Amino acid sequence: MFVEISYLKQSTVVVLLILSVSAIGCLSATRPILGRISLNESISDGQTLVSGNFVLGFFSPGTSSHRYIGIWYNSDPNGTAVWVANRNNPVQDTSGILKFDNGGNLIVSDGRGRSFIVASGMGVGNVEAAILDSGNFVLRSIANHSNIIWESFASPTNTWLPGMNITVGKLLTSWKSYDDPAMGDYSFGLGVVNASAFIIWWNGREFWNSAHWNGDINSPIPELTSIDIIPVSFRCDNLTCTYTPNPSDRLTKIVLDQTGSLSITQFDSEAKSWVLLWRQPVSCDESKLCGVFGVCNMANIHILPVSLDSDQSPCQCPKGFAKQDKSNTRKGCTRQTPLQCTGDKFIDMPGMRLPDPRQKVAVVEDSGCQSACMKYCSCTAYAHSLSDGCSLFHGNLTNLQDGYNGTGVGTLHLRVAASELESGSSSGHKLLWLASVLPSVAFLIFCLVSFIWIRKWKIKGKEKRHDHPIVMTSDVMKLWESEDTGSHFMMLSFSQIENATDNFSTANKLGEGGFGPVYKGSLPNGQDVAVKRLAANSGQGLPEFKNEILLIAKLQHRNLVGLLGCCIDEDELVLLYEYMPNKSLDFFLFEQSRRAFLVWAMRLNIIEGIAQGLIYLHKHSRLRIIHRDLKPSNILLDTDMNPKISDFGMARIFDPKGTLANTKRVVGTYGYMAPEYAMAGIFSVKSDVFSYGVLLLEIISGLRNAGSHRHGNSLNLLGHAWELWREGRWYELVDKTLPGACPENMILRCIHVGMLCVQENAADRPSMTEVISMITNENANLPDPKQPGFFSMLLPTEVDIREGTCSLNDLSITGLDGR
């Protein structure tokens, strides 16, 4: 096998390098050779590794200027990536480097000092990263190449390559857009309930099902057997599927695109392009999906099966048209009243993707364009814009799309019989006066009542203000004036906060945080935010408030909640965060009906996301931070159910050169605090690891660790898990509401990692870098866990303890500030 390294867009240099390798058998010591890099080598932006049909290097997708490490087919002239290492963590410029850090981990770093772990070396020592002829990028032992420590095939993005195994729980995830490879709305994999069928999920809900595989045919996609050329042959057994191309030497890929469609394509070496052989499910881009005059609504395209017999179907008929066949969308819509050629009217359809073909007419005014259409009995619609002029459309129109995001969008004026617009007009005139007057009267009444209420509220507010007004402290002011918070950090007045939250209305209240209520707010630009208001009568929280500003403003990671701004106005202290529409993890995890929504793939994504966030806090952020209050209510979930760590009021900066710190004021939540921290005030990164372990076991079991309830013969979840683990009955810990068949090996691995994280001795617990490697690396050998901390104690839930000694059932603690 001949493998080479090349510089992108420098073919002359490529040839010289190849000749150099052939002639003298070596390259500069600073350049990677033979398709692999070792501990003292790196890949810079502009360099590539080539192995067989595949290339690895930095690239920018579409029109994006961001840089990513990816793999693509060598023959593909467009260089479309089939795998992306840092899909959620792009490099902002061309300063990116792929290299090993001092711990033997493979990382992507940039010129700004930021880095992202691609794969952990698991402490093996002498390792190398190599791209194989199969397109699999691996981390392996130099001494034994069969010892694969990590592989890209185990962490796919949106593409399934030949030879790659898809198992239950291992999912393809779509790109967010053509220009952004970040995780999108769609995922693909084997069914959890029925592992003999392929399923596409849209935001966690089933979107498409390949139907059941009976085991007698060679494909879990029965539709493939009905096409002329079967492009691939599947082999599925033991909850695992792989495939081989047909013919076997044809470059093939299966891709889940950003619209949720799964496609099988093969490369035409003569045309130098990819040929589409199969695609499901359909999208609005599918030709004539909704038939003649049928309008495909992009907002409803996720609703399958496609049917006209629903108001929420992606295929709808315009006004004046009726459904031709409810069971077949491709038959489209038919006119209820035929056109009369003279006297016809037009209905306006804004935001439409304009169809083709079209006739261009040289007129300036919209009225002139309409008149031009009326001259032809065959003209069924027209469109006019200052930029594109007048376009006429003739005959039956197809491929109409509403809500299209691309180019060629405008208002389509569709021609209908005059009678279609005249029906119901008389009753409309009768209601016109009421429709215009009543809203005005209601608005005046609303304004009067609001004015009286606001005035009373402000008077009461002034009477309640206490005598320690807060001013803009110097360190917060310096932060605001510096560039540390980024250009989007906002300093708002209290009146702006009031307007955003509708005067802190109860309808906008999201919940109660550690130091006060949290509201949903809407800024003038339409952006939704979460507004955290420090309780007005509380002396608690002033240091935590400033702590949160100074810490979070410097932190940027996809698994941390972003701080958008703040307000410091007399005694009003307010923080603005990015709004998380799916609330917090405890909202789903500890309520049985909602917990069933958390399928295994979603839980695993949450487990891994929290771990990545903690790795960033402990190791890669500008300030090394210990969170100290990790729990389900502090894990917020975005639109895609991705986890984001929140509430940094308790967080502490630590010296990376030191390992332990001590505090006289223990803060946090019982059930999640490490024993050395709760009992002696000693904390380290291993304190967060303990909290993470508790959280991991709660996610798998759906049970709280702390509380007045018992788990089996144990007083808390850790004791219950320890008892089951020692007796080999770990499977009894798994949440009974978890739907369908789940990957037992992966669940066992996660429970094993959770038990390692909650070990009583902090020195025995793994680091978060080791945790993520243990979870993602199926080949990693895990040590046996020792007994957990607090495993024989009954722990209270979220109890607020002040000075003094409090006896809490079996546990007696002195001088703790908990919550």
Q: How far apart are CA 230 and CA 359, in angstroms?
A: 41
Burial degree of 325 (CB within 10 A; 0-12, 13-18, 19+): middle
Neighbouring C-beta atoms of residue 205, cutoff 10 Å:
9
Pairing of strands 563-569, 490-491: parallel
Strand, helix or coil for residue 122: coil
Question: How far is residue 499 CA from its own chain's centroid?
Answer: 30
Beta strands in 618-674 (DSSP E): 625-626, 635-637, 643-645, 652-653, 661-662
* Residue 282 and residue 300 in contact, taking contact as beta carbons nearer than 8 Å: no
Strand, helix or coil for residue 530: strand
Diameter of the chain measured on Cα atoms: 93
Return phi, psi of residue 628, to 5°.
75, 0
* Residue 187 and residue 171 in contact, taking contact as beta carbons nearer than 8 Å: yes
Q: How far apart are CA 730 and CA 720, in angstroms?
A: 10
Eight-state DSSP code of residue 230: -
Q: How far apart are CA 615 and CA 636, in angstroms?
A: 17
Eight-state DSSP code of residue 542: H
Rg (the chain; Cα; Å)? 31
* Residue 589 and residue 573 in contact, taking contact as beta carbons nearer than 8 Å: no
Question: CA torsion, points 272, 278, 280, 282, in degrees to nearest 10?
Answer: 70
Q: Please list the residues that pair with 209 across neighbouring strands.
A: 199
Burial degree of 600 (CB within 10 A; 0-12, 13-18, 19+): buried
Out of 45, 185, 402, 629, the active site residue is 629
Question: How far is residue 141 CA from its own chain's centroid?
Answer: 33
Burial pattern 758-777, b for ≥16 Cβ within 10 A else e, equals bbbebeebbbbbbbbbbbbb
Q: How far apart are CA 374 and CA 501, in angstroms?
A: 51
Residue 629 is among the residues annotated as catalytic for this protein:
yes
Helix %, strand %, coil % of the chain (to 5): 25, 30, 45
Q: 780 to each of 32, 165, 710, 752, how far by Cα in Å? A: 27, 18, 34, 12
Catalytic residue numbers read 629
